[in-house]
Structure 1
Amino acid sequence: MWTPDWLWETLSWLGIGGTRAKLLFLGLDNAGKTTLLHMLKNGRATILQPALHPTCEDLTFGFYRFTVYDLGGHTQLRRLWPDFFPEASGVVFVVDAADPERVAESRVELDKLLAKKDMLSTPFLVLGNKTDDPNALSEDKLRQKLGLVQTTGKGKVPLENARPIELFMCSVVERQGYDEGIRWLSQYL
């Protein structure tokens, strides 16, 4: 049954129901993780400095209350990522689709995450960000380069014991695509 967003937000605001989840925002530096976090929190794009250390924010998105950890994407910060894996409800992995030269590096990091034993059942939302850039890869090309040809499907329930994983293309600064991806991820939390 479909319920209007305003009803879920009102119920969450009143403290009735709602699901709490711990989300990790991961990806390479300059992919748009911090911009996405600020967009979700404040509703506007802000010019930001790259994350120099992990940050944490509590957000409400519809019926869900998220504790979001933006862990940064510089090589040194990536070493800290495993410290946050325990009890992670889901991962939002952001890829700069307008920087094709770094997509291979993104794939290496994503493959490492997907292979972690303590993350085998964790749902993954992969956001191909910066589609507003004319140099951005298409969804099909990004899927191929990331090895995400066989994913869960945007409207399907995964097979039993299969990790939910899906790619959504988005432009955080244009406010497009990421909300659909977060709704998709929310069904697995």
Structure 2
Amino acid sequence: MGFLDWFYYPLAFFGLLRLQRAKVLFLGLDNAGKSTLLQMVSRGRRGIVAPTLHPTLEEWTIGRVVFATLDLAGHQEARRLWRDYLHDTTAVVFIVDAKDPGRFDEAAAALHELSAMEQLARVPFAVLGNKIDHPDAVSEDFLRDRLGLWQITIRPIELFMCSIAAKTGYGEGLRWLAAQL
């Protein structure tokens, strides 16, 4: 819990401050780090994470925004079910493994398909290029180009390079996302 949360929670508890609620989908290909990020943010630590088989719901707060997050599996068969969870979505965190250029085209296709969906027309996307602590990770400019982020212009979308394992970069992306709501 951050410093400001210690201030906001008592005010919200006594009805003196209204917290905003947001439904956030954690999406991306399998093995990108979605469940690890959710575990890190909600529990403050990471552990051994098995591949996601079923949607996982967690709640956590950044400032005055309460995030109800859904971690959805990212393997090819599961991506067909993402549409079932789009209703009332207010933000998307899309995670990409920055050390796996062999899957960038697949990640770009999934991201562009999501960004074209009517239900997400006004939803901000925080794209996290994860695993930058690995020596094979690509640069931010390279990842931005390979994902074709310059082609997505109808919504707020931003790329943040991060390492969930090293606890860097993702906080900036989540704070940006909270500011977009």
Q: TM-score, normalised by structure 2?
A: 0.92
Please tell me whether the aligned partners of residues 53 and 77 of structure 1 are also in contact (alpha carbons under 8 angstroms): no
Residue by residue over 1:64-98, the C-alpha shift from the partner in whole angstroms, topping out at 9 and shown as x without a partner, is: 11100001101121111011111100000000001
1:66 partner SS = strand
Q: Is the 8 A contact 1:9 1:61 kept in 2?
A: no
Task: Determine the structure 1 residue equivalent to 2:113.
Answer: 112
User: What do the CA deviations read for 1:9-30 (whole angstroms, capped 9, x no partner)?
Assistant: 4313542322110000000000
Displacement after TM superposition at 1:150 (Å): 6.4
Structure 1 unpaired stretches of 5+ = 153-161
Quick check: 1:70 aligned with 2:71?
Answer: yes
Task: Tell me the TM-score normalized by structure 1.
Answer: 0.88
Structure 2 residue corresponding to 1:11, chosen from 8, 16, 29: 8
Measured in 2, the distance between the counterparts of 1:78 and 1:185 equals 23
Gapped runs of 5+ residues in structure 2?
Answer: none
Count of equivalent residues:
176
Counterpart among 173, 178, 184 of residue 165 in structure 2: 173
Q: Which amino acid aligns with 1:169?
A: M
Q: Which residue number in structure 1 is paired with residue 50 of structure 2? A: 49
> Against the structure 1 CA distance between its residues 175 and 86, is the aligned structure 2 distance closer, same or farther, given a 3 Å change threshold?
same
**What's the CA shift string for 1:39-74, capped at 9, x where partnerless?**
001111211111011111111222211100001101
Q: Aligned runs of 1:26-175 on 2, under 5 Å?
A: 26-149=27-150, 162-175=154-167
Q: How big is each residue's C-alpha offset from its partner over 1:79-126, in whole Å with a ceiling of 9 and x where there is no partner?
A: 110111111000000000011101110000001001111111110000
**Partners of 1:9 and 1:183 in 2: how far apart?**
17
* Aligned-partner Cα distance in 1 for 2:148–2:69: 26
Aligned-partner SS, 2:122: coil
> What's the secondary structure of 2:42's corresponding residue?
helix
Greater helix share, structure number: 2
* Aligned mates of 2:166, 2:22 — CA distance in 1: 26
Matched letter for residue 33 of structure 1: K
